[in-house]
Amino acid sequence: LDPASVSARRAVGWLYYYARRYHQAREHLSRAIEMNPMAVESYRMLGSTMALQGDVTEAERVLREALTLEGAGAYSKATLGWLLARSGRRAEAEQLLRELELSRGEGYVSPVAFAILHIGLGNLQEALDWSERAYDERRGWLAYVNVNPIFDPLRNEPRFAALVRKMRL
């Protein structure tokens, strides 16, 4: 891999994140942001990594910074909502959910974003509803549900197992 490639650096960070090797993920994603401070996805993945490491304050800072960047969208907002809900700030997370719902009137919002936020809120059946809708729409990010730690709360749900089987993951 080209060490000067932002895309390669971010991809390696994602692989470490999905492997739950958060220290290495954080290192690569932080470096990707240094190399390209406008890459929204690097911020979102770094914020998720920090949250899963228990560094909630820094995760929130990074996710809020992502929302200020051009191209930030539903996934960034949903990930911040997931973090806030997990941190006991349910009212703020529910406000972000309302904002996502309203933004559907302005354009497409991926069902995966709704699933992520509902997972944070502990609304597992709603998260499964949105995940199944994402499957029906063939949304790309759904392909990572079997390795994405955000989806861990769904792993013991029969509907989740059925979805993973249906996707042949």
Tell me the per-residue pLDDT of 40-91, one tens digit each, with 9 for 90 and over: 999 999 999 999 999 999 999 999 999 999 999 999 999 999 999 999 999 9
Q: What is the pLDDT of residue 1?
A: 62
Helix (H), strand (E), coil (C) string for the chain: CCCCCHHHHHHHHHHHHHCCCHHHHHHHHHHHHHHCCCCHHHHHHHHHHHHHHCCHHHHHHHHHHHHCCCCCCHHHHHHHHHHHHHCCCHHHHHHHHHHHHHHCCCCCCCHHHHHHHHHHHCCHHHHHHHHHHHHHHCCHHHHHCCCCHHHHHHCCCHHHHHHHHHHCC
Give the lowest-confidence range in 3-7, 31-35, 108-112, 136-140: 3-7
- Reply yes or no on whether the pLDDT at 151 is more than 70: yes
* CATH code given to domain 1-72: 1.25.40.10
Alpha carbon distance 137, 15 (integer Å)? 25
Categorize the per-residue pLDDT at 27 as very low, low, confident or very high, splitting at 50, 70 and 90.
very high
In the Cβ-directed half-sphere of 125, how many Cα atoms lie within 13 Å? 0
Q: What is the pLDDT of residue 133?
A: 96
Structural domain boundaries of the chain? 1-72, 90-169
- Reply yes or no on whether the pLDDT at 3 is more than 80: no
Question: 44, 71, 70: which is closest to 59 by C-alpha?
Answer: 44
Tell me the per-residue pLDDT of 92-142, one tens digit each, with 9 for 90 and over: 999 999 999 999 999 999 999 999 999 999 999 999 999 999 999 998 888
- How many residues does the structure list for the chain? 169
Alpha carbon distance 149, 161 (integer Å)? 15
Q: Take residue 136 and report the two structure tokens written for it.
A: 């029906």
Alpha carbon distance 10, 120 (integer Å)? 24
Categorize the per-residue pLDDT at 15 as very low, low, confident or very high, splitting at 50, 70 and 90.
very high
Residue 20 has φ and ψ, to the nearest 5°, of: 65, 30
Residue type at position 125: Q
- Reply yes or no on whether the pLDDT at 6 is more than 80: yes
- Reply yes or no on whether the pLDDT at 2 is more than 90: no
